[in-house]
Amino acid sequence: MAQQYQLVLINLDPTVGSEIRKTRPCVVISPNEMNLHLQTIVIAPVTSSHNVYPTRVNVDHHHVYGQIALDQVRTIDKKRIIKTMGQLEDHGIKQVKEILQNTYVDD
């Protein structure tokens, strides 16, 4: 089962327009309760580009370097998962939570 804040390698193709494409690491955003019962998970892809966007979190985790693109959150079928790659560290989880809160939750 995919775990929240786990890094997973996912095939994102096919895509449309400006969606992030290719097979790449992604962070599972959906809570474990959803991950357990649904055939889909919510993910944020990791990109190797380093842009200064308020919706990006730097990641450096066992050969995964780049930015978590929280502006590219999407729901995918679990069949797209190729393999698991570990868990985000606590400081990365904290940053992801803060940006998700600031970006998607109305005050």
* Domain assignments of the chain as residue spans, ordered by start: 6-104
Closest CA to 22 of 90, 60, 72: 72
pTM: 0.90
60 exposure class (CB count in 10 Å sphere: 0-12, 13-18, 19+): exposed
**Whether the Cβ atoms of residue 45 and residue 78 lie closer than 8 Å to each other:** no
| pLDDT tens per residue, range 26-54 | 999 999 999 999 999 999 999 988 888 89
| H helix or E strand, kind and range, residue 23 | strand 23-28
Q: State yes or no: pLDDT of 62 exceeds 80.
A: no
Select the more confidently predicted residue: 50 or 102.
102
Identify the CATH assignment for 6-104 out of 3.40.640.10, 3.10.20.30, 1.10.10.60, 2.30.30.110: 2.30.30.110
Mean pLDDT within 54-63: 86
Residue 23: its pLDDT value, please?
94
DSSP state letter for 71: G
Residue 64: its pLDDT value, please?
72
